[in-house]
C-alpha cells in the first residue's frame, strides 16, 4: 500500500470510528474488536516441487544451518511452522486432542522425515512447531512444507490450502529447467485464492544458464498463469549463503552474501509482509466500519420514515402485524418441512461426495502400492495422512457450500441480504474432522515365509547342481562343487524370499489401507451428519426468531409512529431535520469507507 493511501486509510479509520462511537457505541465497540483480531502475525508459506531446495532456502533465510532437515526423505505428512521465540524449542502437534510432544532440535530430522527414529509408541505429528530467536521471525511466521511432496495429484490440494491461508507465498523453483507442468497447473489452480506470490529461483550457482531459465519461466507464467506474470523473481543460492557464514574473511563473506541473493529476498519478504499485514488489518477494520455504518444508516432511514408518516402509515403497520402473526401460526410448518427436505438432499449429496473422494484416494494409493519398490513402499503409508487431510478439506468445503445454498433457498423470503449473510456465517461450519491414522504394523513372518526359504534353497541347490554338471566331469573339481552348489542355492533362496516378502508386504499395506479408508469414511460420514443436524437446528431456530422478530419490529415501528403522530408539526419537523443530517453524515462515511476499500483492492490486484 502506497504511503498516501496508507495515510488516508488511517485517517478515515480514526474519524469514522469516532463518528460511529457518537451514533452507535455498540457498533463502534464491535469494530474495535475486529481491529484487535486483525493484528495477528502474518504468515509466509514456502512450497514447491520436491528437490527444489525448499528447506535449504528456509535455513538460509533464517540464518540457521540445519534447522529444517535437508533431503530428509519424502516427508509428506509433516511440515514445519517456525515462529519467533526467546529460546529455541520444538514440539510435535496433532490434529486431534492429543497434547503436543516436546522435541529436541537435534532429533528434528526423525520427526519430519520418513527415516523413522520416533520414540516407541509415538505417532508421527501432523506438524511441528519450532520457535527461535531469529530477527526475521519477529515480523512473520514461516511455514516450510517439505511434507506436501510434489505438486501432483492429491498433494496439490494441501499445497493450495496452505497457500490460500498465507499472507505471502514463496514458490520455490530451481535454475535447472523452466516450470514443470505440475507447477503451472498448481499456479493456475491457486490464482483466485492467493493474493501475493514471490518466486525464489534456487541453485543459480550450479547452473550458468539460469538467466535463460528465468526468461522462460516468465514467458510460461504470462501464458499459463497471467495472474502472477508480474510477480517478482529472486535468484538465490543457499550454498553461497552457507559458504558466506563459514568463511573467516569479512570481505569474502560480504561478496558471497551479495551473490547468494538471500539478503535481498529477506528484505523483500520483510517489506512485502509488513505492507500486506498492515493493508489486510486496515481492510478488515474498514469493512467492519462499512457494515456498522450501514446498520446505523438503516436505523436513521427508518426513523425518518416514521417522522414523515401519517395516520395511513399506522393503519398499514397494523395490517402488516396481523399478517405476520397469521403467517407465524400457519406458515411455520411449511417452512420447516421445506428446510428438512433440503437438509435430506444435502445429506445424500454429501454422502455421495464422501464415497467418491474416498474411492478416488483409495484407487490412487493402491496404484502407488502396486508400482512401489521396497524403499517407496516403506514411505507410502505416511502419504495417507496428508491425502486424507485433503479429502476432509474437500468434503468440508463442499458441505459448507451446500448449507449456504440451502439456507439461501429456504430463508431468502424472510431475511434481507445482510441478515442472510450473517445467518449463513453462523450456520456454515468449516470444521475439518481430525482423521487419526494408526501406523501400519510390521508384517509378521509366518510358515509360508519359512517354507519359501526352504523351497528356494532346495530349488536353488538343484539348479546349481544342474548348472555345474559339466564341471563334475573334470577331475579334481568335485570338492569345489558342494560349496558352489550351496552358494547358488542360498542366493536363490534369498532372492525368492525377498521377492515373495515384498509382494506380501504390498498385500499387507493394502489390507491396512482398506481398514484406514473404512475408518476415514465412517469419520467423514459422521462429520456430515453432525454438521447437517447442527445446521438444521440453527436454521430452524432462525425461522422462529425471524418471524418473532418481524412482529416485534412492526410493533416497535407502530409505537414510533404513534409517538410521532402525537408530536406537533414543528417538533416533528425539527426531529426530522436532525435525523436527516445524521443520515447524510453516516451515508457519506459509508461511501468513504467503500471508496477506500475499492482502492485497496485495486492496489492488491496490481501486486
Q: In what order do the strands lie in the sheet with 89-93?
A: 101-103, 89-93, 127-132, 79-84, 141-144, 43-48, 168-174, 197-202, 233-235
- The secondary structure of residue 436, as a DSSP letter, is P
Percent over 90 (pLDDT), the chain: 6
pLDDT at 73 over 50: no
**Structural contact between residues 481 and 466, judged by C-beta atoms closer than 8 angstroms:** no
**What is the rounded CA–CA span in Å between residue 135 and residue 131?**
12
- What are the domain boundaries of the chain? 43-260, 310-440+513-594, 447-510
Percent over 70 (pLDDT), the chain: 68
- pLDDT tens string 132-147: 998 888 888 888 875 4
**Structural contact between residues 597 and 290, judged by C-beta atoms closer than 8 angstroms:** yes
Cell of 417: 441480504
Calculate Rg over the CA atoms of the chain.
33
Q: What is each CA distance from 286 to 42, 504, 582, 599, in whole angstroms?
A: 19, 62, 20, 12
Cell of 121: 509408541
pLDDT at 265 over 50: yes
Model pTM?
A: 0.58
Cell of 185: 497447473
What integer is the mean pLDDT of 598-602? 75
Return the number of other C-beta atoms located less than 10 Å from residue 288's C-beta: 24
What integer is the mean pLDDT of 516-532? 86
What is the number of helices (H) and of strands (E) in the chain? 18, 9
Q: Which of these CATH numbers, 1.20.1530.20, 3.30.70.890, 3.30.9.10, 3.40.50.300, describes 43-260?
A: 3.40.50.300
Q: 180 falls in which pLDDT band (50, 70, 90)?
A: confident
Least-confidence region, from 35-44, 257-266, 396-405, 595-604: 35-44
Cell of 54: 525448499
**What is the rounded CA–CA span in Å between residue 434 and residue 523?**
9
pLDDT at 459 over 70: no
SS3 230: coil
Cell of 52: 527444489
Place of cell 509466509: 44
- The secondary structure of residue 228, as a DSSP letter, is G
**What is the rounded CA–CA span in Å between residue 558 and residue 306?**
9
Amino acid at each position: 500500500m502506497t504511503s498516501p493511501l496508507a495515510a488516508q486509510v488511517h485517517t478515515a479509520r480514526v474519524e469514522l470510528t469516532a463518528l460511529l462511537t457518537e451514533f452507535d457505541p455498540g457498533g463502534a465497540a464491535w469494530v474495535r474488536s475486529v481491529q484487535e483480531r486483525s493484528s495477528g502475525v502474518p504468515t509466509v508459506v514456502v512450497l514447491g516441487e520436491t528437490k527444489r531446495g525448499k528447506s535449504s532456502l528456509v535455513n538460509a533465510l533464517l540464518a540457521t544451518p540445519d534447522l529444517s532437515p535437508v533431503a530428509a526423505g519424502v516427508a509428506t505428512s509433516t511440515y514445519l511452522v517456525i515462529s519467533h521465540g526467546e529460546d529455541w524449542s520444538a514440539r510435535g502437534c496433532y490434529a486431534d486432542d492429543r497434547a503436543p510432544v516436546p522435541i529436541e532440535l537435534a532429533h528434528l530430522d526423525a520427526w519430519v522425515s520418513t527415516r523413522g527414529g520416533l520414540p516407541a509408541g509415538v505417532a508421527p505429528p501432523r506438524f511441528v512447531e519450532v520457535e527461535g530467536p531469529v530477527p526475521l521471525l519477529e515480523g512473520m511466521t514461516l511455514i516450510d512444507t517439505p511434507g506436501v511432496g510434489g505438486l501432483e495429484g492429491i498433494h496439490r490440494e494441501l499445497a493450495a490450502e496452505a497457500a490460500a491461508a498465507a499472507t505471502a507465498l514463496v514458490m520455490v523453483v530451481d535454475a535447472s529447467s523452466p516450470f514443470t507442468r505440475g507447477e503451472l497447473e498448481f499456479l493456475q489452480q491457486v490464482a483466485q485464492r492467493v493474493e501475493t506470490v514471490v518466486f525464489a529461483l534456487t541453485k543459480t550457482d550450479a547452473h550458468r544458464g539460469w538467466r535463460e531459465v528465468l526468461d522462460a519461466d516468465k514467458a510460461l507464467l504470462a501464458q499459463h498463469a497471467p495472474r502472477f506474470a508480474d510477480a517478482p523473481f529472486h535468484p538465490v543460492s543457499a550454498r553461497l549463503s552457507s559458504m558466506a557464514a563459514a568463511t573467516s574473511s569479512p570481505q569474502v563473506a560480504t561478496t558471497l552474501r551479495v551473490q547468494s541473493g538471500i539478503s535481498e529476498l529477506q528484505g523483500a519478504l520483510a517489506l512485502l509482509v509488513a505492507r500486506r499485514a498492515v493493508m489486510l488489518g486496515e481492510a478488515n477494520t474498514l469493512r467492519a466500519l462499512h457494515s456498522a455504518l450501514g446498520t446505523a444508516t438503516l436505523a436513521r432511514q427508518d426513523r425518518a420514515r416514521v417522522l414523515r408518516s401519517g395516520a395511513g402509515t399506522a393503519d398499514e403497520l397494523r395490517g402488516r402485524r396481523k399478517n405476520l402473526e397469521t403467517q407465524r401460526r400457519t406458515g411455520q410448518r411449511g417452512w420447516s418441512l421445506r428446510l428438512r427436505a433440503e437438509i435430506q438432499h444435502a445429506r445424500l449429496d454429501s454422502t455421495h461426495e464422501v464415497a467418491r473422494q474416498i474411492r478416488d484416494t483409495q484407487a490412487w494409493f493402491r496404484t502407488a502400492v502396486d508400482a512401489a519398490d521396497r524403499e517407496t513402499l516403506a514411505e507410502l503409508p505416511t502419504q495417507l495422512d496428508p491425502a486424507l487431510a485433503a479429502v476432509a478439506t474437500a468434503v468440508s468445503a463442499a458441505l459448507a457450500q451446500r448449507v449456504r445454498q440451502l439456507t439461501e433457498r429456504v430463508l431468502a423470503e424472510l431475511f434481507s441480504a445482510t441478515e442472510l449473510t450473517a445467518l449463513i456465517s453462523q450456520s456454515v461450519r468449516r470444521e475439518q474432522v481430525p482423521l487419526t491414522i494408526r501406523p501400519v504394523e510390521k508384517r509378521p513372518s509366518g510358515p509360508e515365509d519359512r517354507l519359501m526359504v526352504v523351497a528356494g534353497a532346495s530349488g536353488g541347490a538343484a539348479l546349481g547342481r544342474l548348472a555345474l554338471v559339466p564341471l563334475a566331469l573334470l577331475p579334481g573339481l568335485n570338492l569345489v562343487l558342494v560349496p558352489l552348489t550351496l552358494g547358488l542355492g542360498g542366493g536363490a533362496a534369498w532372492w525368492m524370499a525377498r521377492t515373495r516378502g515384498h509382494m506380501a508386504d504390498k498385500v499387507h499395506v493394502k489390507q491396512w489401507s482398506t481398514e484406514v479408508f473404512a475408518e476415514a469414511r465412517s469419520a467423514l460420514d459422521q462429520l456430515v451428519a453432525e454438521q447437517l443436524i447442527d445446521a438444521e437446528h440453527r436454521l430452524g431456530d432462525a425461522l422462529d426468531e425471524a418471524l418473532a422478530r418481524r412482529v416485534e419490529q412492526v410493533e416497535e415501528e407502530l409505537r414510533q409512529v404513534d409517538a410521532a403522530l402525537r408530536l406537533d408539526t414543528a417538533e416533528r419537523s425539527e426531529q426530522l431535520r436532525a435525523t436527516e443530517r445524521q443520515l447524510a453524515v453516516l451515508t457519506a462515511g459509508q461511501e468513504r469507507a467503500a471508496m477506500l476499500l475499492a482502492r485497496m483492492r485495486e492496489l492488491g490486484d496490481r501486486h
